[in-house]
Amino acid sequence: MTLPEAVTAVFLGLLEGATEFIPVSSTGHLLLAGHFLGFESSGKTFEVVIQLGAVLAIVIAYFAKLVWVFGSAPRDPAARRFIGAVLLAFLPAAVLGAALHDVIKTVLFETPRLIAIMLILGGIVLLLVDRLPLRPRYDEADRLPFGTALGIGLCQCLALVPGVSRSGSTIVGALLLGVSKRAAAEFSFFLSLPTMGGAVAFDLYKNRDVLSFDDVGLIAIGFAAAFLSGLLVVRGLLGFVSRRGYGVFGWWRIVVGTVALILLSLRF
């Protein structure tokens, strides 16, 4: 591992944590940044595994809530219902992601132009949904009906295409299903735990034969950077979207996608 590689790993880790929980597609940002920086990891494992840093940020930020949920589940129906809703929302992407893993990693992850287009299209959708006169019916992330949770989970399947955004697809789906802006973001946080944890575990298993010691060092650096930036974003995001909504992220996506398309057209 060289110093430039380590610096790149820090940058990509910070980028991952900063974009994982906002609806702009952390994977899309990582893949585009890696493409323009000339950074490649075995089987794209670095880009997937450093997401665990962001997962740890959620665990730390919501540690008390998680302890309460799992600690009270044996005696509290509401806690069991919340766990069931998150697992139900996780199921569709888990099944489809496992079935399409090879296509996603070998085709979609290697198509930066597609990623840029998805960023732009997703930004337009986010702007339109943010301006709809939606009337929320559900204000608490831990009290969503199973049908609503499943609908959010089906929307999450769209994020198997890099550039769509896992948080973006789940938040937009939740908003359209009557969830408030704050609760939509919070449910997306909790849904990220089984989704990202499962994706990392499956990816490590699939790429177990191509990992090297150098990969482990870079992943550790990226993991730490993703944790730090992810923790900052998680602690500030709910208040921000409650006041400002999601429009700014739609413009962010459009700008990044457009710049990426321009650079790609110049054969950067």
Please answer whether residues 5 and 82 qualify as being in contact, where contact means their C-beta atoms are separated by less than 8 angstroms: no
Number of C-beta neighbours around residue 105 at 10 A: 19
Query: In this structure, what token pair is assigned to residue 188?
Result: 């997306």
**3-class secondary structure, 179:** strand
Q: What is the amino acid identity at position 261?
A: L
What is the Rg, in whole angstroms, of the alpha carbon atoms belonging to the chain? 18
The DSSP line for 103-137 is HHHHTGGG-HHHHHHHHHHHHHHHHHHHHS----S
Please answer whether residues 211 and 35 qualify as being in contact, where contact means their C-beta atoms are separated by less than 8 angstroms: no
Number of C-beta neighbours around residue 134 at 10 A: 15
Query: pTM, whole model, 2 decimals?
Result: 0.85
Residue by residue, pLDDT tens for the chain (268 residues) are 677 778 888 999 999 889 988 888 888 888 888 888 888 766 567 777 788 888 888 889 888 888 988 888 888 898 999 999 999 999 999 999 888 877 776 666 668 888 999 999 999 999 998 888 888 999 998 899 999 999 999 999 998 888 888 888 999 999 999 999 889 988 998 998 999 888 878 877 776 666 665 577 888 898 999 999 999 888 888 788 778 888 899 999 999 999 999 998 887 5
d(CA 80, CA 164): 31
